[in-house]
Amino acid sequence: MKMKINDILGQFEIKGVIYKITTLGEGFINDTYTITTCGNSPDYLLQKKNKSVFPDIPGMMSNIEKVTAHIKKKLKARNDDPYKGTLTIIKTKKGSKSYFQDPDGNFWTVCLLIPDAVSYNIVDDAKLAYKGGTGIGDFQQMLSDFDLPLDETIKGFHNIIFKLREWDKCLKDDPAGRISECKKEIDWIEKYRNNMTEFYKDVENGKIPRRITHNDTKISNILFDKNNNILGMVDLDTVMRAPAFNDFGDAIRTYASTAAEDEPDISKIALDMNMYKAFTKGYLKYMNKTLTSSEKQSLPFSVLYITYEQALRFLMDYINGDTYYKTKYEKHNLVRAHSQTALFKSIEEHFHEMENVVFS
C-alpha cells in the first residue's frame, strides 16, 4: 500500500497548514521534498531515505540526532543561532522517533527548512572555495571533542581496503556482463591498488586517528545566508567516525575540478590550484592546531585517494548494472569513472605543489 505524501507528513509533529509540496533537486541517493506551510509556520524538508544505500536508517538517524545536539550546544555557546547552524530533526507523533517507516518499508524523515538559506552546486571562485573550507573545518572542529559512540551506518565507507574486496567480487561475478568492455579501466584501478591500500593502513593501525567527519563534502551540503556567510553543514546521512582527510579529499575533488564529475570531454578536466589553495587555507584556519602531524601529511594524498575511490565506485556500479547511483543514460557511470581518472592524472601532476600549500 503506497502512502500519499500528506499522509506521511501527518505522522510527524508538523506545525501549520501545508500549502505546497515541491520535489527538490536531483539527489543521487534520496528523494527530497520541500514542504511549504501557510502563514508564519515553519517550512520543512521531507526525505525518503534510500534503504538500499543506507541499510541501517535508525542508526543513521541516531547519529544525526547526537551530532546535531552537540553542534547546537556549541552554537549556543558562541551566540550563533542553533536552528540555522545545523539540522533540526522533527519527531513522529507516535513514539517520538526521528523517522517513520511506512507499510512498504520505506523510511521517511522530516527536518526544519532553514529559512533564507542559500546553497551552491558548483564552486566557481576562490572566495567560495575558501568559505567552503572554513565551513568544513568549523564542522570538524566543533565535533573534535564529541565522545559519544556512533553507528557505522555504511560499512566500509571511504575504506578502500573494504571497497576493493567488493571490487574483486564484482569482477568475479560480472553481474551485468560489462567487464569485457572495461579492460582499460580495470587495469587503471589495479595499477594504483597497492598505493591506496598502503595509505589506508595508517588509519587501521592508528597512526591517523578517526574523528567525526561528514564524509560527503560537496559544496551543496553547506548552507549560506543571504550575505554569503556560512550557516552550517547539512545532509548528515554519512556522519561517522572516520579520518579527517575524508572530508578534505572529497571537498577538493569536487571544489577544485575544472569540470563536473560527469563531464564526457576529459580534456576539460583538471585540478584548479587556486581553488585548492583557497580551500586549504579556509580549512586549516580551524583545523591546523587540531590535526596531528600525520593527519596534515595525509591531506594532499587524500585528494588522490578519494578521487581514486570515486572512480572505483563509479566503475564498479557500471559493471554491477547501475544499482547504486542514479543515472541519466546507459553509460553515465562509465563517463563518471573516466572523468575521475582524468582528474586523478591532473592531481598527480600538481602533487608536490599541493604538499607545499599545506605546509607553507
Q: Which tens digit of pLDDT belongs to each residue from 55-98? A: 999 999 999 999 999 999 999 999 999 999 999 999 999 999 99
Place of cell 522530516: 110
Interval 213-229 mean pLDDT: 94
Residue 137: in which H helix or E strand, if any?
Answer: helix 126-142
Query: Would you state the pLDDT for residue 50?
Result: 87
Query: Would you state the pLDDT for residue 93?
Result: 97
- Name the β-bridge partners of 20: 36
Interval 251-261 mean pLDDT: 95
Query: Would you state the pLDDT for residue 26?
Result: 56
Query: Would you state the pLDDT for residue 52?
Result: 81
Query: Would you state the pLDDT for residue 24?
Result: 78
Cα-based angle 262, 158, 71 (whole degrees, multiple of 5): 100
Average pLDDT, the chain: 95
> If you ran DSSP here, which 8-state letter would residue 42 be given?
P
Q: Give yes or no for a contact between 82 and 189, defined as CB atoms under 8 angstroms apart.
A: no
How far CA 279 is from CA of 99, 251, 287, 296, in Å, comes to: 35, 8, 12, 14
Q: Give yes or no for a contact between 106 and 46, defined as CB atoms under 8 angstroms apart.
A: no
Among the listed residues 84, 110, 17, 27, the one whose alpha carbon sits nearest the alpha carbon of residue 233? 84
Query: Would you state the pLDDT for residue 173?
Result: 97
The x, y and z cell numbers of residue 101, run together, are 517507516
291: three-class secondary structure by DSSP: coil
> What number does CATH give the domain 126-358?
3.90.1200.10
110: three-class secondary structure by DSSP: strand
- Name the β-bridge partners of 35: 21, 44
Interval 316-322 mean pLDDT: 97
Going from N- to C-terminal start, the domains of the chain cover 5-112, 126-358
Q: Is the dihedral of CA 69, 246, 309, 253 positive or negative?
A: positive
Confidence category of residue 129, pLDDT binned at 50, 70, 90: very high
Query: Would you state the pLDDT for residue 2?
Result: 73
Interval 105-126 mean pLDDT: 94
Among the listed residues 299, 332, 303, the one whose alpha carbon sits nearest the alpha carbon of residue 318? 332
Q: At what angle do helices 245-255 and 126-142 cross, to 10 degrees?
A: 160
> What number does CATH give the domain 5-112?
3.30.200.20
Estimate to the nearest angstrom the gap between the alpha carbon of 253 and the chain centroid: 12
Query: Would you state the pLDDT for residue 30?
Result: 78
Query: Would you state the pLDDT for residue 326?
Result: 85
Query: Would you state the pLDDT for residue 27?
Result: 53
Total-model pTM: 0.92
Interval 274-287 mean pLDDT: 98
Query: Would you state the pLDDT for residue 325?
Result: 87
Estimate to the nearest angstrom the gap between the alpha carbon of 110 and the chain centroid: 19
The x, y and z cell numbers of residue 287, run together, are 583545523
Percent of the chain at pLDDT > 70 equals: 98
Contacts of 95 (CB under 8 A, 6+ apart): none
The pLDDT of residue 294 is above 80: yes
69: number of Cβ within 10 Å:
14
